[in-house]
Homo-oligomer: A and B are copies of this chain.
Amino acid sequence: MEWSLTIDKAMPRPLRVILRGVGQVFFCCNAVTGLIFLVALFIGGVTAGAAATVGVISSTVAAYLLGFSEDDIDAGLYGFNGTLVGPCLFLFLENSPQLWLYVVLASVLSSVVLAALMKILGPYKIPASTSPFVLTCWMFLVAVYAFDSFSRGPVLPHPGTPAVVTDAVAIPADMWFTALSKGVAEVMFADSVIVGILFLTGIAIVSLRGALMAVGGTVIGVVLPMLLGANQGMIEMGLYSFNPVLTMMAVGWVFLKPDGRSAVLAVLAGVLTVVCQAGLASFLAPIGLPTLTFPFVLTMWMFLFAAGMSKYWSHPAAE
């Protein structure tokens, strides 16, 4: 919306760049949205908020010192991976003072990995998206497991109320509401309804279609696993939702022409993201790694690469 862009432009540059970095987690190049996200993160937990702040600053400053494109830095593109690295390491590793150093180092690495993937994917006009966050966190998590200097934190967030629910129709309305909003919140590892609502608000400020796609993604991430007989506790925490949320936003709003056809494609991509997540989770379980947002990344890459071969979406510049 107009007013939010005005505020975005009125901010001092360093603050704007950092807040845009937070906003880019949901593809929003808007400091007001980033501020709402950051406030929501602190509401979800002070440590998570602080870790995200340290992460976004570290990755952005690293990109500046390493001489990467100032335009990209200004758009917050070197911020969102750091934003995710912070809370992720604090969720999966034991809290300790040393961990802050790890967050800084991992956030710096995420900027190096992002630049590398931009170089590789650039000719195809495909975004690296959150893949640097995923690859960096995987590397740090397995490294920490190897060195044993940290003990392993909880691999999954506290399980919430394990409600005994047997079929979709029997779920009361408020539980649906919980599952749907937490699905958006879990993108940044928050197990909270209010955080999810704030995230959706921040997205809606930038684009109603974006917010709609996010809601569509949570619906897929709740209904589909239910039909396939997945674990109820995980569904209610939104752990099947955050990947299709991102996929539907990417395919149905950000990277393809936003029309009816790409909305249909986004639903198909959302469904396949859930399949991909279940598959990747099985694959990674023996190593003890979480899938993070890699199911979203893989599915989005497949669909965007494929779109480049279609007469409906191929970008003239990329042909």
Give A contacts to B, CB under 8 Å: 66-69, 105, 108-109, 112-113, 115-120, 123-124, 138-143, 145-149, 225, 228-230, 265, 268, 271-272, 275-276, 278-283, 286-287, 301-306, 308-313
Contacts and interface: CB of A to CB of B under 8 A. Distances in A.
Contacts of A287: 282-283, 286
Contacts of A281: 146
Contact of A278 (B67, B120, B147, B228): B147
A302 B112 contact: yes
B278 A310 contact: no
B140 A275 contact: yes
A311 B308 CA distance: 30
Nearest to A285: B146
Contact of A310 (B68, B228, B283): B68
Contacts of A312: 66-67
Contacts of A105: 271-272, 275
A133 to B, nearest CB: 14
B146 A279 contact: yes
Given A143-B276, A146-B278, A146-B279, A116 B311 contact: no
A302 B279 CA distance: 27
A69 B278 CA distance: 31
- The residue among A275, A281, A305 with the most chain B CB atoms within 10 A of its own CB is A275
B66 A139 contact: no
Contact of A109 (B272, B310, B313): B272
Nearest to A106: B275
A112 B306 contact: yes
A139 B276 contact: yes
Contact of A120 (B124, B142, B272, B311): B124
Given A116-B302, A286-B287, A310 B67 contact: yes
13 contacts: A66-B265, A67-B310, A67-B312, A68-B310, A112-B306, A115-B309, A116-B303, A116-B309, A119-B305, A143-B278, A282-B287, A283-B287, A286-B286
Contacts of A286: 286-287
A116 B305 contact: yes
